[in-house]
Chain A
Amino acid sequence: MRSLYVRSFGSKLIWGLVSSFVIVVCVGLTAQTEETRMEIQTRNWEGRGIENGAVIFANNCATCHGQQGQGLQGVAPALNSRYFFTRRLGDVGQDGVMTLSNYVYLTVAAGRPSKDNSQWANRMVPWSSQFGGPLRGDQVVDVVAYVMNYEETALQQTASEDPFQPFLDVAKPPEFQNIGISADAEWTPVQLAVTSVLPMGDRDPDYLFGALACSGCHKLDEPQAPSSMGESGPNFGTIHELGTYRPEAAADPAAYIKESIVSPDAFRVESYDDAMPDDFASRMTEEEIDRLVQWLLDPDRVTHTRDAEGNIIDE
């Protein structure tokens, strides 16, 4: 009976044993390297999460928070900032309560309403679909991982390098001002000029341009040309030569600019997203808006240097 087979009984047994041995060796090798493999995989997927976050950040957040996370004065705070990684949590009273990562997560997911009187012109909108935003939960997680990845460079910043802007919505008793930075006394945040906004009424256009954070997105002294486009909003250096984007506006530039201030979504150049706040009509009087428009259209407009209360100090 055995002769009918190609291989003998014994050699089959040996083949079976060899195969079993191969299986045991393969599984054994795997077992031996599992610890390393899991560590590499963990880092791999963390790395890829940051890569994904970078794409989301560039597409959605960089307009206001800056391509390098440096923030935009009057629009959105810096994230690539030593202050942000060392002090922010304490300033909102969450030090030791929550982690910065969770704080960022909550802010991205649910948004952060700004008070009208703070220097941040835009409200951080909710980004998670859970709160009506455009991002899925995993995308929020990835973008948080990206923001947290600024930590290493941010902690190396000196005072002059930190693009930090004060969070004026946080009331800080003076005795708590220096908490958290005693180890590095050389670093003290530089307070920026605008601290409050004057009441509505007879305010100067150049004051409004700074106080309402128009200057955050619109540069006054640079032309809007194909070679020099404003990053977040059109540059206003050549605003008196209207019609580049909307030919019919050339006939009545003042009306066009006014419309853009009062209802920014009425006409928007495609390359800009809808970062322009739509509540300026309620933050200025009609007269103030008209004067602002005239001031913008004046090629020889003057911008005064002002103190924190808005008083002109350059004359």
Chain B
Amino acid sequence: MSVQSPAPQKKPWFLALLSALDGIFVYLTAGISTREFRAMLRGDAPGRPNTRLTPHADAFLLHIKPSYYHESVTRFTHTYRLGLLSTYLFLFETITGIILMIWYAPTPERAYVDMIRLLNNVPFGQLMRDLHRIGAELMVGIVTLHMVRTYLTGSYKPPREFTWLTGVLLLVITLFLSFSGYLLPWDQLAFWAVTIGTSMAEAVPPVFVGEIINLLARGAPDIGASGLLRFYLLHVLFLPLLLILFFFVHYYKVVLYGISLPAQEEEVGEDTANRVPANRRVYYLPEVLLDEGTFLLAVTAIITAVTVFLFQAPLEHIANPQQTPFHTVAPWYFYWLQGLLKIADKMWAGVIIPGVLLVMLMAIPYLDRNPSRRGADRRVATISGIVAGVLMIILSWMGTPAYAVQGAPALEVVEKLMPEEKVGISRKIGYKHIPLGTYDSREPITTDDAEFAKLLDEFVHLLEVWEEKAPDFNDPWGLLTVTQDQANLKLLRWEITWISNAGTEEYFKQDYWLHKDSYYWEQYGRKKFGVPEFLEMQNGG
């Protein structure tokens, strides 16, 4: 400290201006001067005392982050930044979600109409919805991968048992967040997936408790206005708040104990994550910040590009409680539950097994007494983890309609060519590739349209496949009659006749209409919208 301040000197005006600007810079960066900032950009080592630490003390957002990391844990291949990415995706979902909330009202009368309005009339509306949807799917995946990484590196071991436990809770909250958002578009996909999901809660013993839980979730014996409002509030208010709470508990523990080092770098039973030698410190400012920033920017770029060019969030027909879709499926991350439900009864598959699994997952750090985190010492843990993962995948496959669900063969054939929901070949080739006329599967295909010939080919092929596959489906033959029902509206009548084992002739008929302008979402990439001929092509159909 100077004993006596020097006599004030008169500075030239431009130096005074620079000094004022420097002051503003220091103010905005919570303590980094322009000189220090240039040194950072040059890659100079911090001086002593390290003035780059000031923001960690002064700025709220930075005080949560550690000021330096151990060099080993900053390597990408140690954590893959999955925890950071999970947090980022939560922020991403919050931002896109709030934008979507502007055009949405959670009532059965408006929800679906609002979806269509968002797609039809809101600039960037479809982009926001697609981003929100892809972010939600990704978040479930990334949080799960984060858990798998933590498991494989044994990072849940002391002193991080509680961190793991809160992490499992965060995974559960993430699943429920994603699932509660599923209902909001109020389409068939949403309605029936959530009907299946909540019906599992009904299996909680004893019976009246299950009924009460189901009633609380749905707001009525069946999902309706109350159920939608409840899921909406869960999705936009309760679950995010719960997630934020557990996130801070989780992250506080992460900072408190530090990120566990690669197992080879410390003795078995030791934890030296917080004792970082001076020569192995990597400061958050600027290295790690830049690292994280670049990483998140790159991920955002990938998500945006995939969404813009490849991904469309599905929107099926409006929810119809009177009509169960042909194959009802849960969201993909609950396929394993649906698979369990096919082999066990509702109480076991819906309540007891998932409950025990969840408790076991949370209890892993307390059950696994092996002090070593090294791969060579934890073969049992690694192998059981892989077995559990493979089991999950098999159960998930069993949860898809591919396993042990089979409708009537005739219905399966038509469902493949022109499904109730989704696209199918017929809607994919579209209105203009389906000429009027009657087409018999027993007669040779005579059509000039190559796309339509492919459809008829597939019709014949599917009939053969199902004749072999299904025991009670003999000598099937099909008729496709295409008529012009109205201007720009064709009626496709699918008729299948076959002989049952009893020798009687059986008959199946399904009518579907196809409008010239209806475009099913899997059918187009957004990039095509930019092509001027695209509109003309549609007009000329």
Contacts and interface: CB of A to CB of B under 8 A. Distances in A.
Say whether A and B bind each other: yes
Interface of A: 1-2, 4-6, 9, 12-13, 15-16, 18-20, 22-23, 26-27, 29-34, 36-48, 50-52, 54-55, 58, 68, 80, 137-138, 146, 149-153
B519 A26 contact: no
B305 A26 contact: yes
A95 to B, nearest CB: 24
A2 B529 CA distance: 46
A41 to B, nearest CB: 5
B291 A19 contact: no
Contacts of B317: 52
Interface stretch (B31-39, B115-123, B161-169, B389-397): B115-123
B112 A138 contact: yes
A68 B487 CA distance: 12
B263 interface: no
B75 interface: yes
Interface string B497-540: 00000000000000111111111000000110110001100100
B123 A34 contact: yes
A54 B513 contact: yes
A30 B308 contact: yes
Contacts of A23: 297, 300-301, 304
24 contacts: A9-B287, A13-B294, A16-B290, A20-B297, A20-B301, A29-B308, A30-B526, A39-B535, A41-B119, A43-B538, A44-B517, A45-B119, A47-B488, A48-B515, A50-B486, A50-B513, A51-B489, A51-B513, A54-B486, A55-B511, A138-B112, A149-B487, A149-B489, A151-B487
B26 interface: no
Contacts of B180: none
Interface string B102-125: 000000010011001001111110
Contacts of A6: 75-76
Say whether chain B's binding surface is mostly helix, strand, loop, or mixed. Answer: helix
B145 interface: no
Nearest to B293: A16
Nearest to A53: B513
B282 A4 contact: yes
B297 A16 contact: yes
Contact of A22 (B124, B304, B491): B304
Interface string B52-74: 00000000000000000001001
B43 interface: yes
B45 interface: yes
Given A51-B513, A152-B487, A34 B124 contact: yes
Contact of A44 (B318, B514, B518): B518
Contacts of A80: 486
Given A42-B120, A45-B119, A36 B529 contact: yes
Nearest to A52: B317
Contact of A30 (B45, B124, B293, B511): B124
B126 interface: yes
Nearest to A141: B113
A36 B530 contact: yes
A19 B297 contact: yes
Given A54-B489, A149-B487, 10 more contacts: A1-B43, A9-B41, A19-B297, A33-B527, A36-B530, A38-B120, A43-B517, A47-B518, A48-B518, A55-B511
**Which of B74, B305, B512 has the most chain A CB atoms closer than 10 A to its own CB?**
B305
Nearest to B527: A29
Contacts of A5: 74, 287, 291
B515 A51 contact: yes
Contacts of A9: 41, 43, 287, 290
B290 A12 contact: yes
A11 to B, nearest CB: 9
Contacts of B404: none
Contacts of A30: 124, 127, 308, 526
